[in-house]
Homo-oligomer: A and B are copies of this chain.
Amino acid sequence: MPTTEKGQAKRSALIAAVIDLVNNNGFHAAPMSLIAKRAGVAAGTIYRYFDGKQDLVNKVYLEVKEAFSASAFRDYAPTDSVEDDFRTIWYNIAAFKLRERDKAVFLSQCDNTPMIDEASRQEGLRHLRPLLDLWQRGQAQGIIRPVSPYQLYAFSIYPIAFLLHMQQRDLYDITQPRIDEVYRMAWDSIKL
């Protein structure tokens, strides 16, 4: 795999092309030939950077998931207040989904498709550790409902993906005052 500066630029262009094509037309309409053209390289060049389509898609998923986690926990240092910590992380996540809409949409496409193999998904889940720890701390303090972390995630984080999807279809618009509303709903569903 090329490791030059230009090489990295091509790698990035390929990843961006996959995100763009998958978001606008789905996995079934993202052939390698188009990915190559969109990235400004020849079809064969892809195989110098990735082992094949499956590998390419998995790598894109992992890199985007990493970017997501990095955003979610940016500047995060646990304080004494579980609620403050949760608010920090929640707003980070919301900001990522709004600012990097393409990446967020791509992730939600991946979450329900068997195109990503289970190994990569497990790897992607690993990054959420700090949030799970926070919830556990909140539960120990009697601040967070004593339920499965999956339930907490389903009600406080997952809904954002739905709203993003509606926004993508021009049925709903997430403006700033609404974000605060949404946060309140998220917190009210998991707090005790």
Contact = CB atoms under 8 A, between A and B. Distances in A.
Contacts of A112: 108-109, 111-113, 165
Interface string A114-128: 110010000000000
A136 B145 CA distance: 29
Interface majority SS on A: helix, strand, loop or mixed?
A: helix
Contacts of A108: 112
A76 interface: no
A129 B192 CA distance: 32
A27 interface: yes
Interface of A: 24-29, 108-109, 111-115, 118, 145, 147-148, 150-151, 153-155, 158-160, 162-163, 165-166, 169, 171-172, 178, 181-182, 185-186, 188-190
A160 to B, nearest CB: 8
A114 B29 contact: yes
Contacts of A26: 27, 113-115
Contacts of A163: 150-151, 154
Given A26-B113, A109-B112, A151-B178, 15 more contacts: A24-B114, A27-B113, A29-B114, A108-B112, A113-B113, A118-B169, A145-B181, A147-B185, A150-B163, A155-B186, A155-B189, A158-B158, A159-B159, A185-B189, A188-B188
